Chain A
Amino acid sequence: MSTAEALVTADGTPLKVSLARATRRSKIRALMLVVPLFVFILITFFIPIGDMLLRSFQNELVGDILPKTVKALENWDESSGELPDETVFTAMAEDFKVAAENKTIGKVGLRLNYEKSGFSSLFRKSGRRAKKLEPPYKEAFLEIDKKWNDLEYWRIFKRESAKFTKSYYLAALDVGYDEAGNIAMKPEEKQIYLNLFLRTLKLSLLITALCIILAYPVSYLLSTLPANKSNLLLILVLLPFWTSLLVRTTSWIALLQQEGVLNDLFVWLGIVSDDGRLAMIHNQTGTIIAMTHILLPFMILPLYSVMKTIPPSYMRAARSLGATPLTAFVRVYMPNTVAGIGAGSILVFILAIGYYITPALVGGTEGTLISNLIAYHLSTSLNWGLAAALGTILLGLVLFLYLMYDKIVGIDNMKLG
């Protein structure tokens, strides 16, 4: 019997039990402090994001508006090579009459139009004449539009009447169904999204690399200067960090546009002729320059905080042991800064792949990133399912990087300003 078990508190409970209870209580008390914030961001942030994830595969619209047709279609064998029988057409006539009255038929048409163009007009046309339809319905529908004779339309109709769909994800990865209904990659010239994902990754990598190159010397200088001087210079880094994103983007527009400050300067210096003004904005160059400028402080600050902890005596020791300045720098100093480079790079990369505002304003068409396309599907094309699928893929990518950041740097070590 150990002493801990032998000891009891005043009321006779063993000390171990009593201690465990006290620890548990203080753990719960600590957790209780976090609960309000947790509940708040659960409701305002996590549930909305979960809702978006659901939207990327939820597909209840067709079944909700055309319930009888969907049920009747279950018995149709799409590999039979024949059109559905009269029962399906009868169910469809009933559904269409109701849906045309409720004016919901256009919604289904639009939904199916994402899968194959032609659906929207087919449904609108059939919906308009639904009231006057007489049996036999099969002939009546075929008379309205020949597309009802096309097996491919029926296959898609049946496929997308399921409660869940993978078509948004397939579309987001540039995969489609071929004419026989099998999953296949889209032809290369039609691959929009994969190309955009690739471009986003490529540009983010390039911007991260540029940030490393620009941040390294500046952070080194800041870390070697005495505190009063480095604090003064640090303001030059912190001011852009604190300045509104839109202000910085606006000033890049003023600087880079064809009639802008830089082009005027180049013309005045005679570097370019007046009608040969450089196109530095509304293309990739614009996105790269503006985003590098905006994200640079996120690289300098972590690098600086790591470099500050490297004792200058390391370099002196290397030199006195016979290393050339270059060798000392590459073999002794640089390995010590890897943690800072890693922290800054992941941070910059995470921020870059999700950027929306700056590419939207200075990117033109070839400098836009995946976020811009998500915004386009949200507000212009209104294909919310596709926007949600693209968003989910991007989110997965970011969360993966976030976990890496946590592994390498530790979230607890994140500092601001």
Chain B
Amino acid sequence: MAAPSYATPLEKVWHYAFLVICGLIFFFLIAPIIVIIPLSFNAVPFFTFTPEMLSLDPAGYSTKWYQDFFTNLNWQGAVKNSFIIAFFATIISTTLGTIAALGLSRAEMPFKSLIMAILISPMIVPLIISAAGMYFFYTKINLAATHLGVILAHAALGTPFVVITVTATLVGFDRSLIRAAANLGASPTRTFFKVIVPLILPGVISGALFAFITSFDEVVVVLFVGSFEQRTIPWQMFSGIREQISPTILAVATLLVCISILLLFSVELLRRRGERLRGIKN
């Protein structure tokens, strides 16, 4: 953006200085994420740029860390576990969260803010405390070190995100549409599937994506509630960083960045689509 035409020279200087400062902050935000991408192609097991890499010598680059990732059984098990756990946790939290959000957005809902505060608390409670409580309790009921235990724990942590996104979608929801459907002879079930679901679907899907990434990224609870059998990608990364740092972790990190870019764009597109459907102008 340009400085306004009435600005004094001093204001102009300040204006450009301000833009530079903002640029630096954006750089601070994004550089750490970008920098690991080239580092993951390092030919030697260092976490930094070698002279060969800087001179763009092909010998300085290699894809061997990616090969390691795709052939190492520990990592492959972690990938499988991550997807299984995240998938089922997402299904549970999306279903329960969406139904609850439908109730919460009804005008006649009593104690709304109290219930909302309770339902959102899994997001606020520090993870180490949730993990400690779940560790004690799930051990007691024989859920510790099982896939089911981790799935249930992640589902609980994911529900607040679904509740928040779906409730936000329902804010702009025109309730007269439901009455119109009923007026035209649709049963409540038919109204739900033909009128409500298509309109809130973008919100539900982005809530589901939030729940998915919550489970996919979560490590503290897996560390305590799970065991080696339930190891997920973050679990494997965490123990990898603690024990011996291998650039395979950087390769995994790069792949995860690609996944998050994909998710980010899906959520963004869904949000816009949802707003268009509900007739909200950006």
Contacts and interface: CB of A to CB of B under 8 A. Distances in A.
Q: Do A and B actually bind?
A: yes
B159 A41 contact: yes
Contact of A251 (B32, B113, B210): B32
A375 B101 CA distance: 34
A320 to B, nearest CB: 11
A218 B165 contact: no
Interface stretch (A29-37, A60-68, A94-102, A115-123): A29-37
Interface in B164-187: 164-165, 167-168
Contacts, number: 275
Interface string A239-281: 1101111111111111101011100100000000000000000
Secondary structure of the A contact surface, majority rule: helix
A356 B125 contact: no
A41 B108 contact: no
Contact of A395 (B113, B129, B161): B129
B8 to A, nearest CB: 9
A328 to B, nearest CB: 12
B96, B118, B125, B216 — most chain A CB neighbours (10 Å): B125
Nearest to A268: B54
B128 A27 contact: no
A33 B98 CA distance: 9
B113 A410 contact: yes
Interface string A376-410: 00110000100110010011001100100010001
Contacts of B60: none
B22 A264 contact: no
Contacts of B216: 244
B280 interface: no
A33 B137 contact: no
B277 interface: no
A378 B135 contact: yes
A93 B160 CA distance: 55
Interface residues of B, number: 96
A205 interface: no
Contacts of A384: 136
A263 to B, nearest CB: 8
A248 B217 CA distance: 11
B201 interface: no
A44, A236, A259 — most chain B CB neighbours (10 Å): A44
B130 A45 contact: yes
Interface in A163-200: none
B25 A244 contact: no
Given A242-B263, A361-B242, A218 B22 contact: yes
B241 A371 contact: no
Given A354-B125, A402-B124, 12 more contacts: A30-B106, A31-B109, A34-B100, A37-B99, A40-B155, A237-B29, A260-B48, A356-B128, A361-B238, A374-B132, A398-B126, A406-B113
15 contacts: A30-B104, A33-B100, A33-B103, A48-B136, A48-B138, A235-B268, A240-B32, A243-B33, A243-B260, A246-B237, A250-B250, A406-B113, A414-B164, A416-B210, A417-B210
